[in-house]
């Protein structure tokens, strides 16, 4: 049996070598996807376009603006001279936020009264608007605390906070959203390449008529499928190594956990993805159909339902159950645990179990379909 499996594997390797376009797709396309998605998908908000309508024109209002622009979060695009101009810059998209200082802003501060400042946020993009609002709220609180400390110091008093909160971020200290998204991107790239490549390989045998010769040979369905899977497993592992190295140099993606555990977990995920591709090939009669089905079952669920971009916890309960149809959901958890957290198997062993069940289910289903097709 081992001899027959290795013979199928060698045949598939020769076929892959002859198909230059497939080699290009397998090795170059994942790198291109990593670069495009890695730089394009980013939830960090920087260089927010801000206009200022300053009716106060004092050192206090200027200091407030300088504090905002001292970081790379806010860029002052201009100053407004009339209230009616506010609507215009927001309507035209020239400003994401407009900061309005009333005439008595500085007077109220030094008189011990509650000074007010108005923040007008363009809220078409709810996520960006929420982040901008949080930035402004934090900046206002910091400015207010500094003013309070300064006034008390002038009067010989000291500012005391009843509760001093210090937030420390573990695993992703600088809150870089790209590092959070890279594991999902790795999962998406691997599942697409694995499912599409193996499904096209098996359907190619049907289109060329060589599947008939295989059916009358001593090969069993299990030997055929395992022999076909071996080369693509090795190729997918090589692709995953390339993506990890590229992710480290391009985006500073760390590998805090055990490399061997990462390798074994990736191997289990690839078995699940390749078995899904085998199932697609079993129900497809042409490469065009196989490509369409494999793209649909790999790309869309991974992008939408895996937690790659959209948090699963925010989805309705019914959709949360539906997310279990893609193995990428569980592999993303594993990758984030190993790459970002550096934890061991005890943290994600249920995900490994699910991937093994997923792989066994689709492999068994594909074998049954292939046997029925061969005897038909």
pLDDT tens digits for range 74-119: 899 999 989 889 999 988 888 999 999 999 888 888 777 788 888 9
Instruction: Specify whether 199 is located in the same domain as 129.
Output: no
pLDDT (0 to 100) of residue 329? 92
- Integer CA distances (angstroms), 205 to 21, 178, 210, 212, 230, in order: 18, 41, 5, 9, 17
Note whether residue 162 is domain-resident.
Answer: no
Q: Which of 99, 124, 154 is the last residue in one of the domains?
A: 154
Confidence band for 331, pLDDT divided at 50, 70 and 90: very high
Enclosing domain of residue 236: 2-42+176-375
Instruction: Specify whether 330 is located in the same domain as 232.
Output: yes
Q: Is the pLDDT of residue 376 over 60?
A: no
- As a whole number of angstroms, the distance between CA 222 and CA 355 comes to 19
Average pLDDT rounded to a whole number, residues 306-332: 89
> Which region among 183-197, 204-218, 229-243 has the lowest average model confidence (pLDDT)?
204-218
| Tokens read off for 376 | 């038909």
Burial of 366: CB neighbours in 10 Å, binned 0-12, 13-18, 19+: buried
Give the CA dihedral 90, 94, 96, 99, nearest 10 degrees.
Answer: -70
Q: Which of 122, 154, 186 is the last residue in one of the domains?
A: 154
Instruction: Specify whether 214 is located in the same domain as 362.
Output: yes
Q: Looking at the DSSP assignment, which residues form a beta bridge with residue 54?
A: 101
Helix (H, G, I), strand (E, B) or coil at 13: helix
Q: Which of 245, 235, 223 is nearest to 370 (CA)?
A: 223
pLDDT (0 to 100) of residue 213? 66
Quote the pTM value.
0.79
Instruction: Specify whether 249 is located in the same domain as 345.
Output: yes
Angle of helix 259-282 relative to helix 349-375, nearest 10 degrees, comes to 30
Strands 118-121 and 97-101, bridge-based pairing: antiparallel
Q: What number of H helices and E strands is found in the chain?
A: 14, 4
| Tokens read off for 122 | 């363009």
Note whether residue 92 is domain-resident.
Answer: yes
Note whether residue 164 is domain-resident.
Answer: no
pLDDT (0 to 100) of residue 351? 94
Burial 289-311 (b: 16+ CB within 10 A, else e): ebbebbeebbbebbbbbbbbeee
CB-based contact 14:7 (threshold 8 Å): no
Instruction: Specify whether 66 is located in the same domain as 199.
Output: no
Instruction: Specify whether 361 is located in the same domain as 233.
Output: yes
Note whether residue 84 is domain-resident.
Answer: yes
| Tokens read off for 168 | 């420390």
- What is the chain's percent helix, strand, coil content, to nearest 5? 70, 5, 25
pLDDT (0 to 100) of residue 349? 92
Q: Is the pLDDT of residue 229 over 80?
A: yes
| Sign of the alpha-carbon torsion through 11, 16, 19, 22 | positive
Instruction: Specify whether 16 is located in the same domain as 80.
Output: no
Report the CATH number that the domain containing residue 79 is assigned in CATH: 3.40.1710.10
The tally of domains found in the chain comes to 2
Average pLDDT rounded to a whole number, residues 38-66: 85
pLDDT (0 to 100) of residue 330? 94
Q: Which of 98, 120, 154 is the last residue in one of the domains?
A: 154
Instruction: Specify whether 111 is located in the same domain as 251.
Output: no
Note whether residue 167 is domain-resident.
Answer: no
Q: Is the pLDDT of residue 232 over 90?
A: no
Q: What is the largest CA-CA distance in the chain?
A: 98
Q: Where does the chain have alpha helices with state H?
A: 2-18, 20-40, 59-69, 84-91, 105-110, 126-154, 177-208, 210-215, 221-251, 259-282, 287-305, 317-322, 328-335, 349-375
pLDDT (0 to 100) of residue 53? 93
Element (H, E) at 256: none
Note whether residue 170 is domain-resident.
Answer: no
pLDDT (0 to 100) of residue 375? 62
CB-based contact 303:223 (threshold 8 Å): no
Instruction: Specify whether 12 is located in the same domain as 130.
Output: no
Instruction: Specify whether 137 is located in the same domain as 233.
Output: no
CB-based contact 236:270 (threshold 8 Å): yes
Note whether residue 182 is domain-resident.
Answer: yes
CB-based contact 116:105 (threshold 8 Å): yes
Give the CA dihedral 105, 109, 114, 118, nearest 10 degrees.
Answer: 30
Q: Is the pLDDT of residue 154 over 70?
A: no
Instruction: Specify whether 185 is located in the same domain as 70.
Output: no
pLDDT (0 to 100) of residue 157? 60
- As a whole number of angstroms, the distance between CA 267 and CA 273 comes to 10
> Which region among 88-92, 161-165, 285-289 has the lowest average model confidence (pLDDT)?
161-165
- As a whole number of angstroms, the distance between CA 98 and CA 89 comes to 9
pLDDT tens-digit map of 314-324:
889 999 999 99
The residue that leads in pLDDT, 131 or 154, is 131
Note whether residue 161 is domain-resident.
Answer: no
Output the average pLDDT for the chain: 84
Instruction: Specify whether 55 is located in the same domain as 103.
Output: yes
- As a whole number of angstroms, the distance between CA 197 and CA 291 comes to 9
């Amino acid at each position: 049996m081992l001899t027959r499996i290795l013979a199928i594997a060698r045949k598939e390797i020769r076929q892959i070598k002859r198909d230059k376009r497939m080699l290009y797709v397998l090795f170059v396309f994942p790198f291109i996807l990593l670069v495009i998605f890695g730089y394009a998908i980013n939830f960090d908000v920087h260089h927010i376009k801000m206009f200022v309508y300053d009716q106060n024109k004092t050192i206090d209002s200027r200091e407030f603006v300088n504090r905002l622009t001292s970081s790379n979060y806010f860029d002052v695009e201009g100053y407004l001279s009339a209230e009616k101009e506010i609507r215009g810059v927001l309507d035209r998209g020239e400003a994401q936020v407009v900061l309005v200082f009333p005439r008595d802003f500085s007077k109220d501060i030094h008189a011990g009264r509650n000074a007010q400042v108005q923040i007008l946020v363009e809220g078409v993009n709810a996520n960006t608007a929420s982040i901008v609002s949080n930035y402004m709220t934090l900046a206002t609180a910091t400015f207010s605390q500094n003013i309070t400390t300064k006034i008390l110091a002038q009067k010989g008093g000291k500012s005391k906070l009843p509760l001093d909160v210090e937030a420390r971020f573990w695993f992703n200290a600088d809150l870089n959203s790209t590092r959070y998204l890279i594991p999902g991107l790795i999962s998406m790239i691997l599942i697409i390449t694995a499912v599409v490549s193996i499904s096209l390989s098996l359907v190619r045998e049907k289109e060329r008529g060589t599947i008939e010769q295989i059916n009358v040979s001593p090969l069993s369905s299990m030997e055929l499928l395992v022999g076909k899977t071996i080369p693509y497993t090795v190729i997918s592992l090589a692709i995953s190594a390339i993506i990890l190295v590229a992710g480290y140099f391009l985006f500073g993606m760390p590998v805090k956990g055990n490399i061997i555990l990462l390798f074994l977990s990736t191997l289990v995920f690839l078995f699940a993805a390749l078995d899904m591709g085998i199932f697609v090939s079993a129900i497809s009669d042409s490469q065009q159909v196989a490509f369409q089905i494999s793209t649909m079952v790999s790309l869309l669920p991974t992008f939408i339902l895996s937690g790659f971009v959209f948090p699963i916890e925010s989805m309705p309960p019914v959709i949360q159950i539906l997310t279990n149809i893609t193995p990428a959901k569980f592999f993303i958890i594993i990758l984030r645990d190993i790459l970002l957290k550096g934890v061991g198997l005890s943290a994600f062993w249920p995900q490994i179990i699910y991937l093994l069940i997923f792989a066994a289910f689709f492999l068994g289903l594909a074998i049954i379909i292939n046997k029925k097709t061969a005897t038909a």
